[in-house]
């Protein structure tokens, strides 16, 4: 019986620990900001994170995936409809069930900020919205080309770290997140999280200011680099995580040390209220499975008696399709006007008259020259 | 008062200008020459690098396997060529179609203004055959071109074979852009006077083109030829691409036929770099296309020629490796998103890995042009100060200054007739040689080509006699003002001409400037006539051409004796005229219509009475 008490105690502590994070749902916003064929690796980065996040339980309805260019169907792709992340084409991250929410030219700074702050036009479909509340944990992953304090979108515009920090502050004030994990894999990525000032944000970057994030390996058949180093090792790390795993953030900070990444990954935890040691990876990458422990038994065997509705429905007329677009009523058309011509005989007579007058005036002898 | 409006200060400035004019001019000239020579010094040059992002970061493993089959096709092509005695059009069409290309032919003819003795033809006639390899999944908006020139003799067969082999290989690969295989001999027939059948196939706008010249089964090195028509060069990224692939595949690559040396700090290394750069300068100045690619450049299509050279080296490269190199280059060009525009369009290359951009070489020309401007300024000042100033007072001084300078009695008659006569001589030099070849052939026992060339030289030399005959027409004669005004106008005219030429074709402008600027700066009627006349003739455009011919032969390591050089000079003149009529090369009209009259003006000044 001591064993039973011990197990019981163990389960309840685990359970309470399970609810320590305070969030009830998970969202993910995954953005690839670069277009062009030679930026294949950025799309592969995002799709790898997408894959991990889906595998660990976040459904498509809770993922906002933004891809700036279409690599799978690019004319230059020798293996169409695939995006590989490992060389020798071991892992196709494009798969069969990728759901891209913002594609191509829709991936702009404005759309990204609108998604984060929720200021979208009313016609935006649900799949394009971040419908988070104050108990959501959000994972935000950005990748592309960046610099000191900015991230380049689509080769034409940039988002600065100040704008991003302000967007997160707006989210905090609108109670749109419980906790936020921000991961960025670009050159000088650490500059993007320098300016954050809202609480409950944890940030990771693939390189420090002044360093370049390097790509991992080229594939000689496709002819491009397939992934960036940081995300490659992140993917390897995440492949070992399963929905019930207890790995915490400190393990995530250790992903891709300088020996593997060449750049120095950085992280920022000062705005985060909890200790990173107690934050599970699945708090952000996975989805919450809410388990309620009950001590009473619920009786499921007796069937409940349902009163049968015996009301008779009134007889309705036979239905027909409504004329949805009564064209004749809408467009009042006048009959087409035919051009009026004078009658043919009249023209003939007129010309005869002219000829006769002519010959009268100038003499009838010219008439024989004509006939 | 301001610096230039205060008469005292202005007098001080102008006296400074007059005093220091000659030393500054000499210094500028020497500095210009030294700057130009210093361009080849390696620390002053930049290493070449891939500017285009789309081409730089992508890499493919080249897997072209069919080198031997390409050579077999080449032998078949040679056999058919011998059998037909020209270009085996039907065989080529059939073979290209068998490889899955859409084949079209285009025939063209053009009669030359006079027979070409070098190539022994009096008309240019041929058939272009081009095959289009369609990309399977792409819109038909972009294309790449691989071409091989075909000639009736036994050369360049291997290039055609390799071209067909590559076409077959590329068919099995996923390509984005369409691929044109052409066997050209004069693809561009938009010239007036050329009869051609219209083009039928459409492929998309051409992004880049490569012309291949291979005459042997194995090669020891690949030579890159960049200079095109009128000295136009392709984007430097194309040269960078070629070099990158040479390094990757491990083929020896040269430019101007010269291998790169590693020792830039020794005298031999530096001379080698200078020689390579001078070869490029001379080739660019000649304005003729040095490969089939030269004609693509006019249409803003980046093109280069790759020539295989088989010399006496131990290590030979076979056709499969060349095929791999071309495959790699085309795969990289395949990934281009826009036309090549990131790298330089104006550059000089002292070696394949180093280049000098326009910002570095233009000051050399600028220094030479400054001499002309300084001299012109000096003359302006001299013309501005009247002979004596009797009245005092600023107003009258300024009045007499303007009056003496702007009076039409001084200005107009003194230089207008000279200008008109010189330009008429230039027009005669441009038109008469070709027009009068029949009469010349009737009266003298020479062939048409010789007649044309010798007429040109005759008109050129006849221009030397002009001052004695035309001084009657010049009414401003006998005045000091007259020749000064003429010289001022001539200097400014020369400066504008050379400046415009240097902007389009730096090499031509610079070479003309080297000889013409000292002549223009120094010539006055007061110098000893015989000596100066000799110097002027030696610095004239015709003699510059002669020197260039000799220097070019020296640099090619095939030095010629004086009579051979003279014959070469004559053939260069005839080629220049033919290039102008065939391709639209602008060197001959520029020299005949603009530079030569300018030089005649200076000659007129020398013999001013």
pLDDT tens column, A327-369: 666 566 555 566 677 777 888 899 999 988 888 888 766 666 6
* Average pLDDT, integer, range B87-92: 85
- In the prediction, which pLDDT does A345 show? 83
The secondary element (H helix, E strand) that includes residue B519 is: helix B506-522
Residues A294-305: tens digit of each pLDDT = 788 888 886 665
**Average model confidence (pLDDT) across chain B:** 84
Residues A145-174: tens digit of each pLDDT = 999 999 999 989 999 999 999 999 999 999
What burial letters (b/e) apply to B176-191, b meaning 16+ CB within 10 Å?
bbbbbbbbbbbbbbee
- Torsion (CA) B183, B185, B188, B193 in degrees, nearest 10: -150
- Judge whether A187 counts as a catalytic residue: yes
Comparing B118 with B98, the larger pLDDT belongs to: B98
Position B47 pLDDT exceeds 80? yes
Alpha-helical (H) ranges within A66-177 are: 109-117, 161-173
Coil vs helix vs strand at B607? coil
Q: Residue A221 — pLDDT band, cuts 50, 70, 90?
A: confident
Which residues of chain A make contact with B58, given a CB cutoff of 8 A? 37-38, 223-224
* Average pLDDT, integer, range B41-67: 83
Query: Is A223 part of the contact surface with chain B (CB cutoff 8 Å)?
Result: yes
Distance CA B207, CA B211 (A): 14
Find, among A96, A33, A27, the residue nearest to A63 by Cα. A27
Tokens of B468: 């004695």
Contact between A223 and B176 using a beta-carbon 8 Å cutoff: no
Cβ–Cβ under 8 Å, residues B366 and B512: no
Contact between B174 and A37 using a beta-carbon 8 Å cutoff: no
Which residues of chain B make contact with A225, given a CB cutoff of 8 A? 57
Among B53, B331, B337, beta carbon nearest to A223: B331
Cβ–Cβ under 8 Å, residues B288 and B572: no
Tell me the pTM: 0.78
- In the prediction, which pLDDT does B407 show? 46
Residues B422-431: tens digit of each pLDDT = 999 999 999 9
* Average pLDDT, integer, range B479-486: 81
Q: If you count residue pairs, one on A and one on B, with CB atoms under 8 Å apart, how many are there?
A: 39
Least reliable range by pLDDT among A213-217, B369-373, B382-386, B501-505 = B382-386
Residues A264-283: tens digit of each pLDDT = 999 999 998 888 888 889 88
Cβ–Cβ under 8 Å, residues B160 and B78: no
Tell me which residues of chain A, numbers 30 to 59, contact chain B at a CB-CB cutoff of 8 Å: 36-38
- In the prediction, which pLDDT does A197 show? 93
- In the prediction, which pLDDT does A14 show? 58
Distance CA A274, CA A250 (A): 12
Pairing of strands A266-268, A201-205: antiparallel
Instruction: Compute the Cα dihedral for B349, B354, B355, B360 and give only its sign.
Output: negative
DSSP code of residue A214? P
Least reliable range by pLDDT among A101-105, A219-223, A266-270, B456-460 = A219-223
- In the prediction, which pLDDT does B471 show? 65
Coil vs helix vs strand at B184? strand
Q: A23, A32, A86, A187: which is the annotated catalytic residue?
A: A187
Rounded to 10°, the helix B267-286/B541-555 angle is 130
Comparing A160 with A75, the larger pLDDT belongs to: A160
Which residues of chain A make contact with B60, given a CB cutoff of 8 A? 220-221, 223
By CA distance, what is B337's nearest residue in A?
Answer: A36
Tokens of B298: 């006019």
Number of CB atoms found within 10 A of residue A178's CB: 20
Query: Is B172 part of the contact surface with chain A (CB cutoff 8 Å)?
Result: no
Query: Is A346 part of the contact surface with chain B (CB cutoff 8 Å)?
Result: no
Among B59, B174, B337, beta carbon nearest to A78: B174
Among B53, B59, B138, beta carbon nearest to A223: B59
Contact between B59 and A77 using a beta-carbon 8 Å cutoff: no
Contact between A76 and B173 using a beta-carbon 8 Å cutoff: no
- Judge whether A332 counts as a catalytic residue: no
Which residues of chain A make contact with B331, given a CB cutoff of 8 A? 223
DSSP code of residue A182? E
Q: Residue B473 — pLDDT band, cuts 50, 70, 90?
A: low
By CA distance, what is A78's nearest residue in B?
Answer: B174
Number of CB atoms found within 10 A of residue B100's CB: 14
For the residues of B322-371, what is the DSSP string, one character each? HHHHHHHHHHHHHT-SS-S-SS-SSEEEEETTEEEEHHHHHHHHHHHHHH
Tell me which residues of chain B, numbers 101 to 160, contact chain A at a CB-CB cutoff of 8 Å: 135, 137-138
Which residues of chain A make contact with B138, given a CB cutoff of 8 A? 75
Instruction: Compute the Cα dihedral for B450, B456, B460, B462 and give only its sign.
Output: positive
Please compute, for residue B272, the number of CA atoms within 13 A of its CA located in the half-sphere on the CB side: 18
């Amino acid at each position: 019986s001591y064993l039973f008490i011990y197990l019981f105690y163990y389960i309840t502590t685990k359970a309470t620990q399970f609810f320590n994070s305070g969030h009830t749902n998970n969202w993910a916003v995954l953005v690839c900001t670069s277009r062009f064929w030679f930026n294949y690796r950025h799309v592969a980065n995002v799709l790898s994170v997408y894959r991990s996040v889906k595998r660990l339980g976040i459904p498509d309805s809770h993922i906002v995936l933004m891809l700036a260019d279409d690599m799978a169907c690019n004319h230059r792709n020798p293996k169409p409809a695939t995006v590989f992340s490992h060389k020798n084409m071991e892992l196709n991250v494009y798969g069969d069930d990728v759901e891209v929410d913002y594609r191509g030219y829709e991936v702009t700074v404005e759309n990204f900020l609108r998604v984060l702050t929720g200021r979208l036009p009313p016609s935006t479909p649900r799949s394009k919205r971040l419908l988070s509340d104050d108990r959501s944990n959000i994972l935000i992953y950005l990748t592309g080309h960046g610099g000191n304090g900015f991230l380049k979108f689509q080769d034409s515009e940039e988002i600065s770290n100040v704008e991003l920090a302000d967007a997160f502050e707006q989210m905090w004030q609108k109670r749109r997140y419980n906790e936020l994990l921000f991961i960025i894999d670009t050159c000088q990525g650490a500059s993007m999280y320098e300016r954050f000032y809202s609480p409950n944000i944890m940030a990771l970057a693939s390189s420090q200011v002044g360093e370049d994030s390097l790509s991992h390996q080229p594939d000689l058949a496709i002819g491009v680099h397939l992934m960036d180093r940081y995300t490659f090792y992140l993917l390897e790390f995440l492949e070992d995580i399963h929905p019930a795993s207890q790995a915490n953030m400190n393990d995530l900070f250790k992903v891709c040390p300088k020996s593997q990444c060449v750049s120095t990954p950085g992280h920022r935890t000062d705005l985060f209220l909890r200790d990173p040691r107690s934050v599970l990876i699945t708090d952000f990458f996975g989805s919450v499975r809410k388990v309620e422990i009950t001590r009473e038994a619920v009786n499921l065997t007796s069937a409940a008696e349902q009163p049968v509705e015996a009301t008779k429905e009134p007889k309705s007329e036979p239905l027909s399709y409504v004329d949805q677009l009564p064209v004749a009523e809408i467009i009042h058309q006048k009959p087409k006007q035919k051009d009026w011509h004078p009658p043919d005989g009249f023209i003939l007579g007129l010309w005869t008259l002219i000829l006769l007058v002519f010959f009268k005036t100038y003499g009838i002898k010219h008439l024989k020259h004509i006939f | 008062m301001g610096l230039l409006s205060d008469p005292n200060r202005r007098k001080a400035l102008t006296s400074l200008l007059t005093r220091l004019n000659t030393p500054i001019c000499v210094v500028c000239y020497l500095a210009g020459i030294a700057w130009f020579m210093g361009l080849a010094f390696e620390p002053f040059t930049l290493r070449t690098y891939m500017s285009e992002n789309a081409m730089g970061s992508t890499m493919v493993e080249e897997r072209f396997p069919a080198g031997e089959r390409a050579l077999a096709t080449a032998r078949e092509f040679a056999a058919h060529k011998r059998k037909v005695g020209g270009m085996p059009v039907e065989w080529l069409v059939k073979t290209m179609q068998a490889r899955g290309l859409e084949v079209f032919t285009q025939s063209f003819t053009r009669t030359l203004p006079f027979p070409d003795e070098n190539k022994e033809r009096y008309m240019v006639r041929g058939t272009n055959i081009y095959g289009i390899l369609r990309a399977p999944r792409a819109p038909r908006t972009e294309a790449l071109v691989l071409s091989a020139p075909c000639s009736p003799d036994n050369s360049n067969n291997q290039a055609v074979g390799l071209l067909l082999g590559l076409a077959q290989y590329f068919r099995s690969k996923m390509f984005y852009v369409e691929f044109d295989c052409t066997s050209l001999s004069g693809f561009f027939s938009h010239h007036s006077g050329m009869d051609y059948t219209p083009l039928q196939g459409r492929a998309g706008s051409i992004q880049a083109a490569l012309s291949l010249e291979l005459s042997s089964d194995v090669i020891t090195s690949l030579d890159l030829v960049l200079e095109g028509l009128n000295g136009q060069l392709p984007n430097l990224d194309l040269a960078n691409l070629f070099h990158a692939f040479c390094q990757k595949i491990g083929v020896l690559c040269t430019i101007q036929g010269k291998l790169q040396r590693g020792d830039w700090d020794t005298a031999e290394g530096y001379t080698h770099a200078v020689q390579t750069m001078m070869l490029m300068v001379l080739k660019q100045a000649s304005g003729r296309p040095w490969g089939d690619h030269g004609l693509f450049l006019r249409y803003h299509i980046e093109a280069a020629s790759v020539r295989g050279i088989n010399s006496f080296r131990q290590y030979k490269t076979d056709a499969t490796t060349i095929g791999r190199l071309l495959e790699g280059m085309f795969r990289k060009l395949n990934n281009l998103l826009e036309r090549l525009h990131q790298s330089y369009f104006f550059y000089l290359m002292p070696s394949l890995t180093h280049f000098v951009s326009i910002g570095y070489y233009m000051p050399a020309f600028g220094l030479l042009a400054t001499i002309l401007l300084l001299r012109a300024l000096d003359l302006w000042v001299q013309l501005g100060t009247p002979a004596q100033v009797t009245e005092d007072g600023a107003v009258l001084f300024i009045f007499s200054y303007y009056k003496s300078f702007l009076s039409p009695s001084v200005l107009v008659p003194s230089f207008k007739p000279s200008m008109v006569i010189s330009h008429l001589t230039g027009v005669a030099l441009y038109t008469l040689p070709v027009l009068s070849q029949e009469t010349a052939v009737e009266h003298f026992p020479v062939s048409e080509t010789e007649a044309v060339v010798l007429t040109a030289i005759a008109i050129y030399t006849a221009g030397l006699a002009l001052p004695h005959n035309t001084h009657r027409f010049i009414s401003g004669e006998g005045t000091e003002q007259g020749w000064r005004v003429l010289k001022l106008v001539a200097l400014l005219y020369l400066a504008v001409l050379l400046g415009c030429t240097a902007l389009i074709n730096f090499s031509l402008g610079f070479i003309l400037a080297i000889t013409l600027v000292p002549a223009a700066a120094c010539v006055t009627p007061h110098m000893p006539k015989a000596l100066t006349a000799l110097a002027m003739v030696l610095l004239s455009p015709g003699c510059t051409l002669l020197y260039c011919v000799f220097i070019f032969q020296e640099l090619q390591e095939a030095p010629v004796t004086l009579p051979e050089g003279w014959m070469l000079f004559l053939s260069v003149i005839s080629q220049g005229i033919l290039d102008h009529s065939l391709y639209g090369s602008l060197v001959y009209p520029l020299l005949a219509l603009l530079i030569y009259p300018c030089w005649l003006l200076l000659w007129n000044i020398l013999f001013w009475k």
